[in-house]
Structure 1
Amino acid sequence: MSSALVIGSTGATGIHVIGELLKCGLFEKVTSVARSEIDYQGPNKERLVQEIVDFEKIEEHKNAFKGHTHMFSCFGTTRKLAGSAENFVKIDHDYVINATKIFKEENPDAKLHYILLSSGGANAKSPFLYMKTKGQIEDDIKDMKFSRLSIFRPGSLLDRGHDSRLLENVGCVFAKGLNFVTFDRAGIPVTMLGKALVRITQLPSQQQPNEEGNIVEYFTNKEAYELAKRTDIPGFENDTETGVVEEVVEEVVEDEKK
């Protein structure tokens, strides 16, 4: 049976990834690597392992990364919360890459599936710090050559609850309206995004392996929506929720996380 590790697990999307991983029952162990604990009271809660870490000293927690087949990164911040461009890059990029390197190093003989929550518009050549950093993260993780790398590039993250901010709430109203006319290309509720991130682990890739035998695949906002709504995927046949917010966890708010 598979096992999964999640960073960014206490944020608005990561908290739902944890819930979906446990609820589906397909993972024998789910490890949350975070700065604080999650109060999860849903199905299979005995499978949840919580590793409280200081990401500045992530090397001290190598053992938490061993023995997993899947790693999810839902980690992120904003320049405003970070306080400076330098701190933003350190938190958003360096913390993720340092943790990812440990995951790869601690599981050298396994076929690893890495699921990255990136952003629409991510591009390492972008003049905008946020998009440039997200693109650099993608490129650096691609260089690690995972057996399978699934990169999600959503639009606006909707229904973030009390983890959202005023301008985001205003933007969400417009994004929901745009979804209607753009066929779900503008934004996605974090509940649905969490479902999509987990569901992809149970589907074979439609992407052909590259010359080194590895798979790199990308998912747009619309494709994430379609994944989240599917009930024909093994382990999710009885999940009929397609957009209804279900509170299976009590969210621990960390403003720098997604």
Structure 2
Amino acid sequence: MAHPRSALVVGATGSTGRRVLRYLLRGSGFERIGEYGRHLTDTKELALEGISRTSLCRLEQRIISFETLQDEEWAAEEWDVIYMVLGTSVVVAGSRETFDKINRRFVLKAARAARRSDGGWQRLVYLSAAGASSHSLTPCLQSRGLTEAGLATLGFDEMIVMRPGPLKDPAVRNGTPRHVVDGSIVYVEDDYTATTTLMLPI
């Protein structure tokens, strides 16, 4: 397997995704970096944060509709690594049904859309939650667990599932906890709880 040259971030405007995107742009590990989502990051904001013009030239942005996504819709882009950090909380979603739609159905649709059709190697990195299980009695954790199980059937060459505990985003004033990638993937200035990284063989 050659060194991965491209990375796609799905959900890069969330409290977790924004950190992943900035981490990738500040690094030199990828020649192409994609940002696909319902909303996109303002490149002027990134420039003000000190991200160079050269790094921004690597960024490919696309507004998408998760409702209408088709399988392998992004296959031609041939993304090597997909960071699936799309998600919300029940409080923000407004109902368990909307939570499940965003955190499970949209995530699975996006992963299927990103699958390469040429047989090329791909890695999927999925941000789940501590305690996620398809057998959980907690609806939110059950939804995350079902998502993990669904993603594992899609045939990615490598799949990494991160199950962080709750973190407080310094940008959030009401104290609502957020799930944030742990420091091994992206630098976070907060204190974080114990995190489990689960490798699923495909």
Q: TM-score range by the shorter chain?
A: 0.7 to 0.9
Match of 2:31 among 28, 31, 36: 28
In 1: Cα distance, 2:112 partner to 2:91 partner:
27
Identity of aligned residues (%): 27
Runs of 4+ in 1 over 3 A off after TM superposition: 220-224
Residue pair 1:112, 1:148 contacting (<8 A) in 2 also: yes
- The runs of 5 or more residues in structure 1 that have no matched partner are 170-187, 200-219, 225-258
Could you tell me how far 1:195 is from its partner in structure 2?
A: 5.0
Report the aligned-residue RMSD.
2.6
Could you tell me how far 1:81 is from its partner in structure 2?
A: 2.1
Alpha-carbon spacing, 1:143–1:152, altered in 2? closer, same or farther (3 Å): same
Match of 1:9 among 9, 12, 16: 12
Counterparts of 1:192-231 in structure 2, within 5 Å, are: 193=181, 196-197=184-185, 221-222=194-195
- 1:55 corresponds in structure 2 to 66
Alpha-carbon spacing, 1:154–1:62, altered in 2? closer, same or farther (3 Å): same
Residue pair 1:13, 1:194 contacting (<8 A) in 2 also: no
The answer on 1:77 being equivalent to 2:88 is yes
The answer on 1:161 being equivalent to 2:170 is yes
- 1:121 corresponds in structure 2 to 131
Q: How many pairs align?
A: 181
Counterparts of 1:59-138 in structure 2, within 5 Å, are: 59=70, 62-63=73-74, 66-104=77-115, 106-138=116-148
Higher relative CO (Cα under 8 Å, sequence separation at least 6) belongs to 1
In 1: Cα distance, 2:106 partner to 2:173 partner:
22
- 2:200 corresponds in structure 1 to none
- Structure with greater helix share of residues: 1
Letter of the 2:13 partner, please give it: T
TM-score, structure 2 as length reference: 0.79
TM-score, structure 1 as length reference: 0.63
